[in-house]
C-alpha cells in the first residue's frame, strides 16, 4: 500500500464509510442471488471432499476463484463508481 | 468442523480468562461499536511484521498482537504458543491446535450484539435476522402437522369479493390491503390483540379475520357486509348505497384502522416523537416537507406534515415520474398570494416547494383523474405511464437540497440510501364518471399478478398491468430496513 492508499483506507474506516460500502455490497450480492450461488458451490465442495475433514482454508481455496468470477459486472461497476465518486468528493482536511 | 460448543482448547481458555478478551477485541476491531473504536481500528489494525492492514488480519486472543494470515499470525502463534486468534474481518476464532475456525454459541451471541451496536452507532439498518421459533411456537409447530406448501403456481391468498351493489370501490381497496406484504405479515402473525371492549366493533379485528379467510384455502367469493357496516358506522360520510370514490374510501379506511389500533392491548400510548407507532402509521405514513422561501430576504420557513398518500395532477400525457417532478418543483406564489415572512415582518411574495422528507414503506399515489368544477364534472383518461420499479431519491428533501445548492448530489447519504420501490397494486376506474366500475391488479408473489374484478380473479401479466389506465398506484419499499434495541 502506498501512503495515499493507507490514508484513504484509514479515512474509510474512521468515518464508518467502509462499513457502509460493505453493507451496500452485501445487499447487492444477496439481491442478485450471488450469495445463494456461492452457498451451493460450498455445499458441492464439501460433498466432493473425501472424508469429513473440510477446513475453512480448503473451502476458501476451492471456492474463491469461481465465486469471484460469479460477481456480476453491474455490481462491480456500481461499487467502483460509488467509491470513486465518494473519495473524490471528500473534502480535504 | 465441530458443533456449537467450541473446542476443548477454547473452552479451557474461557474457563481461565472468561469471554472478556474476545468481547473487547470484537467490540473494538471487528464490529467497531463506537467512534473511539473506529479510531483505533483505522490507526492500529496493521500486521506487526509487515505493517499492512491485510489480507485477513487476525488478532491474538492471548496478548496484544496483530498478524496477517499470510504467515505472520501463524509464526506468532507457534513461537509464543498462543493458539487462539480472531479473524478481524468476520470475528471468528481460529484454534491452531485444531487447525480450524471454532463455533461457539456464547461468542457468537457476543458477536451478534456487537454487530447490532456497531450498525446502530453508524445509523445503519440492523442486519436482517430470520425468524427463530420460541419454545411455544416450536411446540405449536410440532402439534399442528398440517403444512401448506407455497409453489410457483399457488393461488394462496386469492379470493373474489361479492359486489353488494356498487361496492367495487371497497372490493378493490380490500384486495390492495390484503396484498400489502407488511400488512399481511402483521395480520397473519396475529399481532393485533384486542381489548374485550373492542369485540364486534373493531375494524382491525375485522381485517384480521379477513386475512384468515383469504388464506384459509377456500375459493368461494367472500361477502364483506360486516366490514362495510363497520366503515359506515365509523366513517359516516361514506354511508349509503351509491358508488363511492375508491381513493376516499382508502383514506377513510386507513383512518378508522389507525383509530381502532388503539383498541389493541399492546398498542396504547406508543407515540414516538409525536408520531403514532400503530401498524398503519408504520407502513403508510411519510413526511411531506414544505419550504416557503421569501423572495425578499431568502428566509426559509419549513414545515413537515404527515401524509398517507400523494395526490398528483394529471396534466397531459406523461409519466408518474414527471408528475412527481412537477409535484416537487418550486412554485412561485405570485403577488396575489403573499405570505407573512417572519424575518421581514411583512407580507411578501414567495416560492413554495414540496419535497418528501421521509418516505413511507408503502408509497400510495392518487392520480387526480376526476375533475370537479362549478361548470362540469369530468374524468381525465389521459395516459400516464408508471414503472414497475421506482426510485424515489430525486423527490426527497435531502436530494433536492443537495441539487439546489449545487453541492454534489452524490453526497455520502445519497450513496447509501436505498429508496427503491416496487409496484404491487393498481386500482383502475373503468367507464365514465356516473357509470363506472373499479377493478384492481394485485401482485400475489414476485412476478405473479392477478386481476381482481369483484368475484372474478384472473391471472394477469405485468405488461397488462403497466398498460392499464391507473387511478391509484401502490408501491412497496424494495429493501426493508430494520431497527433493533441493543
Q: Dump pLDDT digits (tens) for A37-91.
A: 999 999 999 998 877 778 888 899 999 999 999 999 999 999 999 888 888 877 5
- pLDDT tens-place string over residues B254-272: 999 999 988 776 655 555 5
User: Residue A20's closest chain B neighbor by CA?
Assistant: B416
Q: Which residues of A touch B412 (CB under 8 A)?
A: 15, 17, 20, 86
pLDDT of B206 reads 94
Whether B122 and A19 lie within 8 Å, measured CB to CB: yes
Candidate from B100, B410, B416 with C-beta closest to A24: B416
Is B379 domain-assigned? no
Cα–Cα nearest to B475, from B257, B189, B181, B152 = B181
Pairing of strands B420-431, B389-391: antiparallel
Confidence band of B409 (pLDDT split at 50, 70, 90): very low
Q: What are φ and ψ of residue B228, in 5° steps?
A: -60, -40
The distance of B425 to chain A (nearest Cα, Å) reads 22
Q: Which of A9, A56, A85 sits opposite B410 (nearest CB)?
A: A85
Chain A interface mutation, best of B42, B54, B90, highest count of A Cβ atoms under 10 Å: B42
Per-residue cell: B235: 366513517
Residue B42 in any domain: the answer is: yes
Residues 148 through 207 of chain B touching chain A, CB cutoff 8 Å: none
What's the pLDDT at B2?
Answer: 46
Question: CB of B244 within 8 A of CB of B251?
Answer: no
Cell of B376: 362540469
How many domains does chain B fold into? 1
Q: Which residues of A touch B479 (CB under 8 A)?
A: 27, 31
Q: Closest approach of chain B CAs to the CA of A86, in angstroms?
A: 7
Does the beta-carbon distance from B42 to A11 stay under 8 Å? yes
Q: Nearest residue of B to residue A9 by CA position?
A: B42
* Contacts A14 to B, Cβ<8 Å: 38-39, 42
Residue B60 in any domain: the answer is yes
Secondary structure, 3-state, chain B: CCCCECCHHHHHHHHHHCCHHHHHHHHHHHCCCCHHHHHHHHHHCCCCCCCCCCCCEEEECCCCCEEECCCHHHHHHHHHCCCEEEECCCCCEEECCCCEEECEHHHHHHHHHHHHHHHHHCCCCCCCCCCCCCHHHHHHHHHCCCCCCCCCCCCCCCCCECCCCCCHHHHHHHHHHHCCHHHHHHHHCCCCCECHHHCCCCHHHHHHHHHHHHCCCCCCCECCHHHHHHHHHHCHHHCCCCCCCHHHHHHHHHHHHHHHHHHECCCCCCCECCECCCHHHHHHCEEEEEEEEECCCCCEEEEEEEECCEEEECCCCEEHHHHHHHHCCCEECCHHHCEEECCCCEEECEEEEEEEEECCCEEEEEEECEEECCCCEEECCCCEECCCEEECHHHEHHHHHHHHCCCCCCCHHHHHCCCEEEEEEEEEEEECCCCEEEEEEEEEECCEEEEEECCEEEEECHHHHHHCCCCEEEEEECCCCCCCCC
Higher pLDDT, B199 or B471: B471
Note the ipTM here: 0.86
Least confident of B205-209, B269-273, B368-372: B269-273
Q: Which residue of A has its CA nearest to B100?
A: A55
Phi, then psi, of B341 in degrees rounded to 5: -90, 125
18-57 of A, contacting B, C-beta below 8 A: 19-21, 23-24, 27, 31, 52, 54-57
Q: Is B230 part of a structural domain of the chain?
A: no
Assigned domain for B319 exists: no
Does residue B410 surpass a pLDDT of 50?
no
- pLDDT for the residue numbered B270: 54
Are the beta carbons of B389 and B462 closer than 8 angstroms? Answer: no
Assign residue B111 the CATH number of its domain: 3.30.40.10
The residues of B annotated as belonging to the active site are 168, 437
Nine-digit cell string for B281: 402509521
3-state per-residue secondary structure call for B120-180:
HHCCCCCCCCCCCCCHHHHHHHHHCCCCCCCCCCCCCCCCCECCCCCCHHHHHHHHHHHCC
Nearest residue in chain A measured CA to CA from B70:
A57
Mean pLDDT calculated for residue range B29-39:
93
Decide if B330 is inside a domain: no
SS3 track for B4-27: CECCHHHHHHHHHHCCHHHHHHHH
* Contacts with B192 (C-beta within 8 Å, 6 or more apart), sequence order: B186, B204, B205, B208, B261, B264, B267, B279
CB of B214 closer than 8 Å to CB of B157:
yes
Q: What is the pLDDT of residue A93?
A: 45
Q: Which residues of B touch A57 (CB under 8 A)?
A: 100
Taking an 8 Å cut-off on Cβ atoms, the answer to whether B410 and A82 are in contact is yes
| pLDDT of amino acid B392 | 96
The answer to whether residues B54 and B68 touch, using CB atoms and an 8 Å cutoff, is: yes
Cβ distance of A55 and B42 shorter than 8 Å = no
Q: Is residue B97 part of a domain?
A: yes
d(CA B31, CA B107): 13
Per-residue pLDDT band for A2 (boundaries 50, 70, 90) equals low
Whether pLDDT at B1 is above 50: no
Report the b/e string of A70-89 with b at 16+ CB within 10 A: ebeeebeeebeebbeebeee
CA geometry: angle at A36 spanning A32 and A39, to 5°? 145
> Is residue B44 within 8 angstroms of chain A, CB to CB?
no
Chain A touched by B480 (CB under 8 Å): no
Q: Using the beta-carbon criterion (under 8 Å), do A86 and B101 form an inter-chain contact?
A: no
B432 within some domain: no
**pLDDT digit string, tens, across residues B424-440:** 999 999 988 777 899 99
Q: Nearest CB to B38: which of A1, A13, A85?
A: A13
Range of the domain at B81: 8-122
B51: closest chain A residue by CA: A1
Give the best residue of A26, A56, A82 to mutate against chain B (max B CB count within 10 A).
A56
pLDDT tens digits for range B109-122:
999 999 999 998 98
The share of chain B scoring above pLDDT 90, in percent, equals: 63
pLDDT at B359 over 90: yes
Amino acid at each position: 500500500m502506498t501512503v495515499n492508499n493507507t490514508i484513504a483506507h484509514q479515512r474509510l474506516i474512521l468515518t464508518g464509510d467502509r462499513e457502509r460500502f460493505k453493507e451496500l455490497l452485501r445487499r447487492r450480492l444477496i439481491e442478485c442471488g450471488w450469495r445463494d450461488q456461492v452457498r451451493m458451490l460450498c455445499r458441492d465442495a464439501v460433498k466432493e471432499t473425501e472424508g469429513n475433514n473440510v477446513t475453512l482454508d480448503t473451502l476458501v481455496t476451492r471456492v474463491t476463484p469461481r465465486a469471484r468470477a460469479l460477481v456480476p459486472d453491474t455490481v462491480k461497476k456500481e461499487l467502483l463508481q460509488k467509491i470513486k465518486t465518494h473519495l473524490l468528493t471528500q473534502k480535504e482536511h | 468442523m465441530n458443533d456449537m460448543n467450541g473446542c476443548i482448547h477454547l473452552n479451557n481458555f474461557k474457563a481461565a480468562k472468561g469471554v472478556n478478551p474476545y468481547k473487547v477485541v470484537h467490540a473494538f476491531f471487528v464490529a467497531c461499536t463506537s467512534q473511539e473504536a473506529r479510531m483505533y481500528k483505522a490507526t492500529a489494525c496493521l500486521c506487526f511484521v509487515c505493517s499492512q492492514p491485510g489480507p485477513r488480519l487476525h488478532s491474538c486472543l492471548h496478548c496484544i498482537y496483530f498478524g496477517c494470515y499470510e504467515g505472520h499470525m501463524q509464526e506468532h502463534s507457534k513461537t509464543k504458543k498462543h493458539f487462539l486468534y480472531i479473524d478481524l474481518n468476520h470475528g471468528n476464532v481460529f484454534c491452531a491446535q485444531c487447525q480450524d475456525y471454532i463455533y461457539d454459541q456464547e461468542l457468537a451471541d457476543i458477536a451478534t450484539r456487537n454487530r447490532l451496536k456497531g450498525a446502530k452507532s453508524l445509523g445503519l439498518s440492523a442486519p436482517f435476522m430470520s425468524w427463530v421459533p420460541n419454545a411455544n411456537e416450536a411446540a405449536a409447530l410440532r402439534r399442528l402437522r398440517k403444512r401448506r406448501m407455497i409453489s410457483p403456481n399457488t393461488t394462496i391468498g386469492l379470493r373474489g369479493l361479492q359486489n353488494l351493489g356498487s361496492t367495487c370501490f371497497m372490493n378493490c381497496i380490500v384486495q390492495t390491503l390484503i396484498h400489502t406484504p407488511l400488512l399481511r405479515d402483521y395480520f397473519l402473525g396475529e399481532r393485533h390483540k384486542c381489548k374485550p371492549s373492542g369485540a364486534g366493533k373493531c375494524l382491525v379485528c375485522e381485517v384480521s379475520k379477513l386475512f384468515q379467510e383469504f388464506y384459509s384455502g377456500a375459493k368461494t367469493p367472500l361477502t364483506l357486509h360486516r366490514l362495510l357496516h363497520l366503515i359506515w358506522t365509523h366513517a359516516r360520510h361514506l354511508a349509503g348505497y351509491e358508488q363511492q370514490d375508491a381513493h376516499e374510501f382508502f383514506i377513510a379506511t386507513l383512518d378508522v384502522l389507525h383509530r381502532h389500533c388503539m383498541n389493541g392491548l399492546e398498542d396504547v400510548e406508543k407515540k414516538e416523537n409525536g408520531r403514532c407507532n400503530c401498524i398503519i402509521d408504520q407502513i403508510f405514513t411519510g413526511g411531506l416537507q414544505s419550504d416557503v422561501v421569501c423572495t425578499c430576504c431568502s428566509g426559509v420557513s419549513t414545515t413537515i406534515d404527515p401524509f398517507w398518500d400523494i395526490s398528483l395532477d394529471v396534466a397531459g400525457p406523461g409519466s408518474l415520474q414527471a408528475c412527481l417532478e412537477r409535484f416537487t418543483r418550486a412554485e412561485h406564489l405570485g403577488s396575489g398570494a403573499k405570505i407573512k415572512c417572519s424575518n421581514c415582518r411583512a407580507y411578501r411574495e414567495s416560492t413554495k416547494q414540496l419535497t418528501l422528507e421521509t418516505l413511507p414503506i408503502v408509497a400510495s399515489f392518487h392520480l387526480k383523474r376526476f375533475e370537479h368544477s362549478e361548470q362540469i364534472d369530468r374524468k381525465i383518461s389521459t395516459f400516464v405511464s408508471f414503472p414497475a420499479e421506482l426510485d424515489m431519491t430525486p423527490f426527497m428533501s435531502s436530494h433536492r437540497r443537495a441539487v439546489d445548492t449545487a453541492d454534489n448530489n452524490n453526497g455520502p447519504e445519497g450513496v447509501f440510501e436505498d429508496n427503491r420501490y416496487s409496484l404491487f397494486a393498481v386500482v383502475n376506474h373503468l367507464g365514465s364518471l356516473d357509470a363506472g366500475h373499479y377493478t384492481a391488479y394485485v401482485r400475489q408473489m414476485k412476478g405473479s399478478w392477478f386481476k381482481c374484478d369483484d368475484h372474478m380473479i384472473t391471472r394477469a401479466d405485468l405488461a397488462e398491468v403497466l398498460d392499464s389506465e391507473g387511478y391509484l398506484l401502490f408501491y412497496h419499499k424494495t429493501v426493508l430496513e430494520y431497527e433493533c434495541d441493543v
